[in-house]
Chain A
């Protein structure tokens, strides 16, 4: 049915943060898959659960967070069944994360090459001096950085260079899946484009798949093949990017796309009135219903499941 085989299969992933005020239902039983070689965009406003998904896929959720349910299969391997040691090895070699804000959490007292060495050492890969230098130069070249960047400290790098160093570290063990969590949110547009070009270039070199997390729909339109739209911990639509922009299915996707300002024509801004629901006491029914212009009685009682309603287009909405 699917055009290319799935590299990653996620089913019924549910993550809660157990706080003193109750369980924050950050990811609410979502399912999706990533195909080989594809770039998949995960979009949603802040707090919708994007980073939690990324961390859960790598089993990096820390207390008070807990993966309540879910199956994550990468290239035939069920990641949640792996031992801690097995999972540690799968990270970087199978699935690598450029975490949100990673460029600002590079170790300030280590030169770039030492940071790369750390990643390799973690995986028991100890290269001799010469081989290591060559590997570092290769990695830097593949993200468009000069060899002498290896000897610099993070504070000597511009934002765009730091982000490319983070990508270099992420690909040091040739992962099959690269997750980049808002890699360019803190960068200027010119630099953003350079970083995106870099990400796409390393992806095609490795033949890897990419999950790009973000909230900039313009960026998604330009970079990814398919988009998953998150709303309050739910995946409400998954569509190929061209279909999504041509004919968004979910009312939230529709309003989101209508709220984008254009550089071609001046028009009144259309916001989306209202606020997302609290994740502490998720009401029954559709999470979007309080803001939805099409809400019906049924939307208040019955939670719409994510279903394929057109070829390759999935939506969680009772209108379909």
Chain B
């Protein structure tokens, strides 16, 4: 029998606002979205989308910080809303989060040590003060920070990049199976971005942690992810193994996205394609058809008549686009069938000083 995945969103929809029973226009932040995250073998899944595409909503649903309007989120096979105390405690250790803005997580009145010592105390990770200190130092080292330059300081005495790396260290402390990182490097400079992403990737490689890396930046998604899900207005536009999706994108939106990224090579000029200027008008609840119709250079009549299902364009790639309607379809809940399975990396565990 197959074991239940670590964390799974199944046909999850989240609607904000709107009247009772869907009367009045609400915002469909996430629409019938499924995603399965396994702990074994650990993998890095990148979720890419422009702002407002529902990425943070997805993260909040996966973390149990918000409940889906319809559909469900399951942890080890059980709906998050029905976990026992014991299961909930395990969930809180297994699944860690890194948010975009580390400033909000820090209390300016406490030294940064607090961010690390709290989970150590809460989950009884160390038996003595010395052991706690050793564990803190070890975790900081694991994310490339020097303990003597970080412990004992106040948040404002550290750079944004250092603060964000402490959040990575905090996530690591609990030896989770999964880290959900929501735009972890959007607020830091390029030179630090690379360092932080490398420390995230090291957590995966050295400790066998799965990562859901949420970003608006397709380039870092490609660099760090095994798999990718490209979101458009709360839905999957394209998904699969990151190599085919980035190298041979099928969905017109993914193609537009990739063509819009300015290459850091002056000899590779930006693709020119004219777009309708103000076509990005929001789609109201209940509108039928493809959400990308209206902006799409390939639009066909069918695009306004029905919602495109996921078509399997390649063995490791699906696109929600009628251009591929001669291909077999895939239920969103079976997305993992097209995801790449990374070779299992060697797994180390953090050991406390004693």
Contact = CB atoms under 8 A, between A and B. Distances in A.
Interface of A: 45-46, 144-146, 158, 160-161, 188-194, 215-219, 221-223, 241-242, 245, 255-257, 259-263, 266-273, 275
Contacts of B191: 45, 255-256, 259, 271-272
A273 B162 CA distance: 11
A291 B68 CA distance: 48
B51 interface: yes
Interface stretch (B7-15, B275-283, B302-310): B275-283
A189 B261 contact: yes
Contact of B275 (A194, A215, A216): A194
A45 B194 contact: no
Nearest to A194: B275
A242 B265 CA distance: 8
Interface stretch (B22-30, B73-81, B101-109, B195-203): B195-203
Contacts of B193: 259, 269, 271
Contact of A262 (B189, B197, B219, B260): B219
Contact of A269 (B189, B223, B269): B223
A188 to B, nearest CB: 4
Given A146-B278, A194-B275, A256-B190, A266 B266 contact: no
A270 B260 contact: no
Q: How many B residues touch the partner, as a band? A: 35 or more
A273 B195 contact: yes
B285 interface: no
Contact of A193 (B197, B201, B270): B270
With most chain A CB atoms within 10 A of its CB, the pick from B50, B159, B261, B269 is B261
Contact of A263 (B51, B198, B246, B278): B246
A221 B198 contact: no
Contacts of A216: 190, 262
A179 to B, nearest CB: 20
Interface in B168-195: 189-195
A203 to B, nearest CB: 16
B291 interface: no
B262 A218 contact: yes
A41 to B, nearest CB: 11
B262 A261 contact: no
A269 B277 contact: no
B195 to A, nearest CB: 3
24 contacts: A45-B189, A188-B51, A189-B50, A189-B260, A191-B280, A192-B260, A193-B260, A193-B262, A216-B190, A217-B264, A218-B261, A222-B266, A242-B266, A245-B266, A256-B191, A257-B264, A261-B219, A262-B223, A262-B264, A263-B246, A267-B223, A271-B193, A271-B196, A271-B198
